[in-house]
Amino acid sequence: MIETVATTAYDDQKPGTSGLRKKVPVFRQPNYVENFIQSIFDTIGDCAGKTLVIGGDGRYYNREVVDIAIRMAVAAGFGRLIVGAGGILSTPAASNIIRRHGAIGGIVLSASHNPGGPTEDFGIKFNTANGGPAPEKVTEAIFARTQTIERYMISRQAGVDVDQIGSTRLDQTQVEIIDPVADYAALMETLFDFGRIAELFGSGFRMAFDAMHAVTGPYAKEILEKRLGAPAGTVRNFKPLPDFGGHHPDPNLVHARALYEEMMGEGAPDFGAASDGDGDRNLIIGRGIFVTPSDSLAVLAANAHLAPGYSGGLKGIARSMPTSAAADRVADKLGIGIYETPTGWKFFGNLLDAGMATICGEESAGTGSDHVREKDGLWAVLLWLNILAARGQSAREIVEAHWREYGRNYYSRHDYEGLDAEAANGLMEALRAELGSLPGRAIAGLEVAAADDFAYHDPVDGSVARNQGIRILFEGGSRIVLRLSGTGTSGATLRVYLERYEAAPDRLALDTQAALADLIAAAEAVAGIRARTGRDAPTVIT
Ligand code: G1P
Ligand code: ZN
């Protein structure tokens, strides 16, 4: 039985950097979830006979929304639903399934690395037929629809048991509950030399993978321990929990501190890694060395040809604007294109679809390739393992050799979280107003070469995205970028990105914060962060 339910619009269903993200109590308001999902279906248009993928990162409220999404998709007339067992699909696995099964798109439930629980974060993301996050023109259409919606449709028939792998017919819809891991693991086997990585583990190589009680646990167990033969216990915190064990499932130096300390200490394993709530981010720590995501992108790009899936070379590299220029040097050397996009994976989709880029990355611990249309945490870890196995060197040796060859881009991000939104907007507005007068001025002893508010002209579809972050470029190639987060669910987060390039062989092993000290001072001088926000230190330094 399909019921048409009258509803009234909410005015705050505007998707941000990565889908609609709010606190659970916001999603629990009457018809809030239903309005948004119906708006997605109304934007797709005719859903009859089409295939839709549904799954999420297993966080609190995931099961309830999976059930609602299935019922509404049946009511919308989809021909086939592919749902991860237990309502589970990592973000990259969902992207792969959409592509592999010719789906029109997928509903991916996740708030990524944000905490989960009854008063924590939840999110709904729509991915399109290429497997990637919906581009802005689609998210804008969905948002427009949420503002006028007056009804939604839902099936009141008995639902399906999402824990039971198998296929059930509900009205005209075939609902398939699938193993969330199988397709993804098979894809990884086509990209990487599993035999060689297994030999590495066979030779006594020790690894620590922290799944942070998030969605990657089952994927990492299957691939690292079962297929590659890593010793049991290699994958830690592998059981996905609705509240991620009370932690932030964010693989950075703050929330994965224990792993970091272990990797820097006596008797550390050879290689450490972690991934986030929905499995698209990665953290890479070699014994005695944290690899910044920007450096990781550069090292992976420079060595990707060592993995079978990339042995033919790369078509190009894309990075988000705030990501360091380390990858640019690799692209130059390889003689391939380098693209600088706004923050957010959705901007890579066109470049990947057009065959202009093979590998993409963001400083926020996101790396991926054209194998799917999302960043992919475990993929990055497996590519690292493939490179370690092929080169027979440690992560530290590889990174240090990279710096000797290309120079080092010292890089750090300072986040100020939970700011008063008005104060944060005021800071950005004041900076914008000053941009024209900055070039030529000296700030904290550094001379400004150029300053702008980054605008991206998509070379594939010609679309333009403006106001994507303020860049202050100094003589000599150092820079500061400031932007406000588009993924937060309360207050505002100011991100300050700092970068300096060093090529002198005796200056490659400095302490990062010390190497960036003058840029940190310049950011304070130009933006007045202390005075405007009342904070005298960042909340998180990565
Ligand atoms: C953050 C990251 C960005 C990433 C996004 C989704 O967005 O900075 O690189 O694509 O999360 O994982 P932000 O909060 O900065 O808008
Ligand atoms: Zn994520």
DSSP of 125-177, one letter per residue?
EEEETTSSBPPHHHHHHHHHHHTT--EEEEE-S----TTS-EEEEETTEEEEE
Over residues 152-165, the mean pLDDT reads 93
- DSSP letter string, 5-19: EE----S----BTTB
DSSP helix/strand/coil, 213: coil
Phi, psi torsion values for 250, nearest 5 degrees: -120, 110
Chain mean pLDDT for the chain:
96
Which of 274, 275, 342, 338 lies closest to 301, judged by CA? 338
Cβ of 393 less than 6 Å from ligand 1? no
Q: Please state the CATH superfamily assignment of the domain spanning residues 184-406 in this structure.
A: Alpha-D-Glucose-1,6-Bisphosphate, subunit A, domain 3 (3.40.120.10)
Over residues 466-483, the mean pLDDT reads 95
Residue 55 clears pLDDT 90, i.e. is over it: yes
Cβ of 358 less than 6 Å from ligand 1? no
Return the structure tokens found at 34: 């239903």
Same CATH fold assignment for domains 184-406 and 408-541? no
CA separation for the pair 425, 537 (Å, rounded): 18
Q: Domain 408-541 maps to which CATH number in 3.40.50.150, 3.40.640.10, 3.40.50.300, 3.30.310.50? A: 3.30.310.50
Residue 297 clears pLDDT 90, i.e. is over it: yes
pTM (predicted TM-score): 0.94
User: What is the per-residue pLDDT for 158?
Assistant: 79
Paired residues of 482 in beta bridges: 470, 496
Q: 360 near 327, Cβ under 8 Å?
A: no
User: What is the per-residue pLDDT for 346?
Assistant: 87
Residue 97 clears pLDDT 80, i.e. is over it: yes
CA of 344 to the centre of ligand 1 (A): 6
Which protein residue's CA is at the shortest distance from atom 13 of ligand 1?
A: 485
Domain ranges across the chain = 2-180, 184-406, 408-541
Cβ of 489 less than 6 Å from ligand 1? no
Which protein residue's CA is at the shortest distance from atom 11 of ligand 1?
A: 487
Q: Which of 144-153, 267-276, 372-381, 479-488 has the lowest mean pLDDT?
A: 479-488
DSSP-derived secondary structure letter, 315: S
CA separation for the pair 539, 324 (Å, rounded): 21
Which protein residue's CA is at the shortest distance from atom 2 of ligand 1?
A: 364
Residue 490 clears pLDDT 80, i.e. is over it: no
CA of 173 to the centre of ligand 1 (A): 35
Cβ of 250 less than 6 Å from ligand 1? no
Class at the top of the CATH hierarchy for domain 2-180? alpha beta
Cβ of 234 less than 6 Å from ligand 1? no
Give the chain's radius of gyration (CA, Å).
Answer: 23
Helix axes 194-202, 377-391, angle to 10 degrees: 70
Candidates 343, 373, 539: which one to mutate for ligand 1, based on the most atoms within 8 Å of Cβ?
343
CA of 284 to the centre of ligand 2 (A): 15
Q: 390 near 200, Cβ under 8 Å?
A: no
- Residue 155 annotated in active site: no
Cβ of 495 less than 6 Å from ligand 1? yes
CA of 345 to the centre of ligand 2 (A): 10
% of the chain exceeding 70 in pLDDT: 100
